């Protein structure tokens, strides 16, 4: 993988959730399922339309918030309404499905697992797009965050940047923006109200690195002004969580005979060091 993979933290129901989404979206394919020493599912890697994702059975530590949701572009009203009807079962409507100034049909819903989805009627070339909402203490930072991210990642550009121009409180803030990181589409916006919504580790973004030079580069750039954690996790200065992940680690963890030694080494690290991982793998 060369892109950036959204990583979803579920409360021990990751496989159930992926199966649930497979019944809602036409194009969902499970790529790989990893299991822990006890034989239980640990992660499920899957492709939803155009987007690679990973679901983790992480327990009840982190809960999804509206700070990161997934924007679903539907070409027909029939398609949109069918997805909406299924996602809203046992869920919560955040913005009702209706006509808005920006779209003939749009709605925002939280599914029964807590993950949020924004459905819209349009012909966006990327079917599913992660969208970041900068709210609470991060309100007003969407523009600077987008500029930072597009300066760090190669094959990046800002496609649109629409700002508020009238309301004194919001003037200059980002109403809506679309941009690409490593050629992959993202969206971002500043909250229009004082909602107490914050980023957390329930949704993080995995940056796949081919070598130690890439690991060091992304670790340094993204952690500047933020916080680092164990196992290659960090929070950037805006509170968005990232995992700086050497691709070789995936191959090591797939080796059932050696994966425990490698994982033990991972648990002792903050930034992941490829040489140390290779020693553990021998």
**Per-residue pLDDT tens digits for 38-86:** 788 999 999 999 899 999 999 999 999 999 999 999 999 999 999 999 9
Give CA–CA dist 70/186, Å, rounded. 10
Residue 166: predicted pLDDT: 81
In this model, does residue 2 exceed pLDDT 70? Answer: no
4-27 pLDDT tens trace: 999 999 999 999 999 999 999 999
Q: Which tokens sit at 256?
A: 């059932």
Supply φ then ψ for residue 226, to 5 degrees.
-110, -145
Task: Compute the distance between CA of residue 53 and CA of residue 205 in angstroms, rounded to an integer.
Answer: 9
pLDDT recorded at residue 124: 77
pLDDT digits (tens, 9 = 90+) for 131-176: 999 999 999 999 999 999 999 998 999 999 999 988 777 899 999 9
**With pLDDT > 70 as the criterion, what percentage of the chain qualifies?**
99
Tens-place pLDDT, residues 227-281: 999 999 999 999 999 999 999 998 888 887 888 899 899 999 999 999 999 998 8
Strand 51-57 to strand 4-10: parallel, antiparallel, or no bridges (unpaired)? parallel
The pLDDT value recorded for residue 256 is 78
Residue 246: which residues within 8 A CB-CB, separation 6 or more? Answer: 209, 210, 211, 212, 214, 215, 272, 274, 277
In tens, the pLDDT along 93-121 reads 999 999 999 999 999 999 999 999 999 99
Least Cα distance to 131 among 118, 140, 121 occurs for 118
The full set of domains in the chain, from first to last, is 4-60+200-281 (3.10.180.10), 68-190 (3.30.720.110)
* Residue from 2, 33, 7 nearest 233 by CA: 7
Q: Which residue has the tokens 């900068």?
A: 134
177-208: pLDDT as tens digits? 999 999 999 999 999 988 899 999 999 999 99
Let me know: does 199 contact 241? Beta carbons within 8 Å.
yes
How much is the mean pLDDT over the chain? 94
> Which pLDDT value is given to residue 1?
52
Whole-model pTM: value is: 0.95
């Amino acid at each position: 993988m060369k892109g950036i993979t959204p990583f979803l933290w579920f409360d021990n129901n990751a496989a159930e959730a992926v199966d649930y989404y497979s019944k809602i979206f036409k194009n969902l394919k499970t790529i790989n399922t990893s299991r822990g020493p006890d034989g239980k599912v640990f992660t499920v890697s899957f492709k939803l339309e155009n987007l690679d994702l990973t679901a983790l059975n992480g327990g009840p530590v982190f809960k999804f918030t509206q700070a990161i949701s997934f924007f679903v572009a539907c070409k027909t009203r029939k398609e949109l309404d069918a997805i909406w009807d299924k996602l809203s079962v046992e869920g919560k409507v955040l913005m009702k499905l209706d006509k808005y100034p920006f779209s003939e049909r749009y709605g925002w819903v939280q599914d029964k697992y807590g993950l949020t989805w924004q459905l819209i009627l349009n012909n966006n070339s990327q079917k599913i797009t992660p969208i970041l909402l900068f709210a609470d203490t991060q309100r007003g930072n969407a523009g600077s965050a987008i500029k930072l991210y597009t300066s760090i990642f190669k094959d990046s550009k800002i496609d649109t940047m629409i700002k508020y121009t009238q309301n004194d409180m919001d003037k200059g803030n980002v109403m809506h923006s679309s941009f690409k990181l490593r050629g992959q589409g993202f969206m971002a916006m500043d909250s229009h109200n004082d909602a107490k919504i914050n980023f957390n580790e329930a949704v993080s973004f995995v940056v796949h690195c081919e070598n130690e030079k890439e690991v060091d580069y992304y670790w340094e750039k993204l952690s500047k002004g933020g916080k680092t954690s164990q196992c290659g996790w960090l929070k950037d200065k805006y509170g968005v969580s990232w995992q700086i992940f050497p691709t070789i680690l995936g191959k090591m963890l797939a080796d059932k005979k050696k994966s425990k030694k490698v994982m033990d080494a991972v648990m002792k690290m903050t930034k992941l060091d490829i040489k140390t991982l290779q020693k553990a793998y021998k």
